[in-house]
């Protein structure tokens, strides 16, 4: 018997856990949880943090480029339309922000292990801007010799001149959002290039061989049958790139995709049960091609692809946020840089770090991060975490863990549980439920 309290943390009793373990898929919280820091306190806390030689061993830098050349229908991350003059002004401000930040004792205390240019669409920037940003971060911040420096973006308008500029400046990993190779579906979602053009750019990057080349693919898109999904993965495999993320489509409430489907201008996306089948097929194809799994969603062909930034950001690491809309944990605080472009630019002009909000690290945050991180890697070592945090997690979580094991979401061995294939599909739910259960006890 489970206590009433535990019941809401259990999965559905079913013989088909892949399709029926939960009624809905939970998503990773977009914003960090914790007590808010008042706007008056923020500048002082930031100054205290970066003037101390403190912090964790693993450190990263996140640099946000909040522009896109078009709004893709499925996306919840669109911020500002790309305009050449505005982007140039932004790059100038970003360099100034780097100068204001670098040189501080916190920054110089230890090397950084990963730098990530994310967005938006960083590849929308011009060649000169790319060179300037990458060179500035390399010149001003102490980077480890094996630092992963990623440029995120898309193949559209990522010209040979821009590619050359980014690679010469020091980018050693390119992560391009392809989503699907199907020309018709791409068009319907606002992706401008046909299959052939995307393949041409990816082949060019692969043949240059100067940086790891990674792509994202999404399953469950409107109009994407299981056959189209299989073709997407087989096309990726035939290109012999270095790695790939296989993501599930996330339909944002009130977003353009939901509206287009409601209007009938796009076919419905895959149901959750269909997505589960797409997930399994994706894993089968990647395993049959002997790709190595770096996380539930991420695959590598060879060890050149490490996926460091994404893995570090889920675990115990510091992240220096730079650019409008960037955010990151530094010591016990999360800092979010002003997302309104106008406000960001005028604060930089005035020589201020433009922070718009922050939170304090909540109690047990490191335990929760360890749980999420391990589950993202396909396991959760409750015995080891119990020792690390002086808690008896195996006993405390036993009603939940036993039920999950009974319906084949996990296998428990020596105090550590491993996700089964259905468990992998529901990985975010499993992590979130354990965190919610432990939080309830605080
Ligand atoms: S998918 Fe990329 S390019 Fe398209 S709107 Fe989103 S962030 Fe911009």
- DSSP secondary structure letter of residue 400: H
Q: How far apart are the first and last CA of the chain?
A: 23
118-138: average pLDDT: 97
Pocket test for ligand 1, best of 64, 66, 78, 250 (most atoms within 8 A of CB): 78
Domain locations in the chain? Answer: 4-27+364-440, 36-314
Q: Which atom of ligand 1 is nearest to the CA of 76?
A: 6
d(CA 351, CA 343): 12
Buried b (16+ CB within 10 A) or exposed e, 261-272: beeeebeebbee
Residue pLDDT, tens place only, 225-257: 999 999 999 999 999 999 999 999 999 888 999
CA-wise closest residue to 272 among 216, 220, 336:
220
Phi, psi of 356 (to 5 degrees): -105, -30
Q: Which residue has the tokens 């959760």?
A: 380
Instruction: Report CA torsion sign: 265, 256, 429, 309.
Output: positive
What mean pLDDT value characterizes the chain?
Answer: 95
Superfamily of domain 36-314: tm_1862 like domain (3.80.30.20)
Give the Å distance between the CA of 66 and the centre of ligand 1. Answer: 10
Residue whose Cα lies nearest atom 7 of ligand 1: it is 120
Pocket test for ligand 1, best of 77, 250, 251 (most atoms within 8 A of CB): 77
Alpha carbon 250 to chain centroid, angstroms: 13
CA-wise closest residue to 244 among 319, 314, 294:
294
Does 4 score more than 80 pLDDT? Answer: no
Please tell me the predicted confidence (pLDDT) of residue 7.
Answer: 79
Q: In this structure, are residues 272 and 245 in contact, taking their beta carbons and an 8 Å threshold?
A: no
250-276: average pLDDT: 94
Q: In this structure, are residues 149 and 186 in contact, taking their beta carbons and an 8 Å threshold?
A: no
Q: Which atom of ligand 1 is nearest to the CA of 156?
A: 3
Give the Å distance between the CA of 415 and the centre of ligand 1. Answer: 42
Please tell me the predicted confidence (pLDDT) of residue 3.
Answer: 52
273-280: average pLDDT: 98
Q: In this structure, are residues 332 and 46 in contact, taking their beta carbons and an 8 Å threshold?
A: no
Residue 177 Cβ inside 6 Å of ligand 1? The answer reads yes
321 token code pair: 């946020």
Residue 68 Cβ inside 6 Å of ligand 1? The answer reads yes
Please tell me the predicted confidence (pLDDT) of residue 29.
Answer: 65
d(CA 188, CA 184): 6
Residue 221 Cβ inside 6 Å of ligand 1? The answer reads no
Give the Å distance between the CA of 149 and the centre of ligand 1. Answer: 20
d(CA 378, CA 218): 20
Residue 438, classed as helix, strand or coil, is helix
Residue pLDDT, tens place only, 395-424: 999 999 999 999 999 999 999 999 999 999
Beta carbons within 10 angstroms of residue 396's beta carbon: 15
Please tell me the predicted confidence (pLDDT) of residue 368.
Answer: 93
What class is the 4-27+364-440 domain? mainly alpha
Residue 77 Cβ inside 6 Å of ligand 1? The answer reads yes
36-314 and 4-27+364-440 share a CATH fold: no
Residue 123 Cβ inside 6 Å of ligand 1? The answer reads no
DSSP 269-335: PPPHHHHHHHHHHHHHHHHHTTPEESSSSEEESSTT---HHHHHHHSS-EEEEESTT-EEEETTEEE
Q: Which residue has the tokens 């894993």?
A: 283
Give the Å distance between the CA of 107 and the centre of ligand 1. Answer: 31
Residue 72 Cβ inside 6 Å of ligand 1? The answer reads yes
Q: Which atom of ligand 1 is nearest to the CA of 74?
A: 1
Of 7 and 16, more confident = 16
Residue pLDDT, tens place only, 26-71: 876 666 788 999 989 999 999 999 999 988 889 999 999 999 999 9
Pocket test for ligand 1, best of 76, 81, 119, 190 (most atoms within 8 A of CB): 119
d(CA 196, CA 130): 26
Q: In this structure, are residues 121 and 166 in contact, taking their beta carbons and an 8 Å threshold?
A: no
DSSP 55-83: --S-EEEEEEE-EESS--TT-S---EE--
Does 386 score more than 70 pLDDT? Answer: yes
């Amino acid at each position: 018997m489970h206590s009433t309290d535990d019941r809401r943390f259990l999965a559905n009793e079913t013989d088909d856990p892949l399709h029926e373990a939960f009624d809905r898929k939970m998503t990773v919280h977009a914003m960090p949880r914790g007590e808010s820091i008042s706007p008056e306190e923020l500048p002082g806390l930031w100054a205290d943090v970066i003037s101390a030689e403190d912090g964790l061993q693993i450190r990263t830098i996140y640099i946000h480029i909040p522009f896109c050349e078009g709004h893709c229908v499925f996306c919840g991350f669109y911020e500002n339309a790309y305009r050449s003059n505005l982007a140039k002004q932004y790059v100038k401000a970003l360099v100034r922000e780097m100068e204001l930040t670098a040189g501080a004792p916190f920054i110089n205390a230890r090397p950084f292990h990963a730098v990530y240019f994310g967005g938006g669409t960083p590849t929308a920037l011009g060649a000169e801007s790319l060179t300037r940003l990458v060179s500035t971060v390399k010149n001003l911040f102490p980077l480890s010799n094996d630092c992963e420096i990623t440029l995120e973006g898309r193949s559209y308008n990522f010209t040979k001149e821009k590619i050359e500029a980014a690679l010469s400046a020091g980018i050693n990993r390119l992560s391009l959002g392809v989503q699907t190779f199907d020309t018709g579906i791409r068009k319907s979602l606002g992706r401008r290039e046909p299959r052939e053009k995307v393949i041409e750019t990816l082949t060019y990057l692969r043949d240059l061989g100067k940086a790891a080349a990674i792509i994202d693919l999404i399953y469950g898109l409107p109009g994407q049958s299981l056959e189209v999904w299989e073709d997407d993965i087989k096309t990726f495999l035939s290109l012999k790139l270095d790695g790939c993320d296989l993501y599930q489509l996330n339909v944002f409430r009130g977003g353009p995709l939901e509206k287009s489907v409601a209007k009938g201008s796009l076919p419905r996306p895959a149901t959750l049960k269909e997505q589960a089948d797409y997930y399994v097929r994706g894993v089968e194809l990647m395993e049959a091609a002997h790709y190595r799994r770096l996380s539930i969603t991420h695959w590598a062909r060879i060890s050149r692809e490490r996926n460091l930034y994404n893995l570090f950001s889920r675990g115990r690491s510091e992240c220096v946020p730079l650019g409008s809309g960037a955010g990151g944990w530094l010591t016990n605080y999360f800092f979010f840089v002003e997302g309104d472009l106008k406000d960001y630019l005028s604060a930089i002009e005035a020589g201020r770090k433009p922070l718009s909000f922050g939170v304090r690290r909540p109690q047990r945050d490191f335990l929760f991060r360890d749980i999420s991180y391990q589950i993202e890697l396909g396991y959760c070592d409750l015995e080891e975490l119990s020792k690390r945090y002086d808690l008896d997690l195996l006993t405390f979580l036993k009603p939940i863990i036993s039920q999950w094991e009974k319906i084949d979401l996990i296998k428990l061995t020596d105090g550590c549980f491993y996700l089964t294939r259905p468990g992998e599909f529901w990985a975010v739910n499993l992590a979130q439920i354990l965190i919610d259960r432990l939080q309830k006890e605080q």
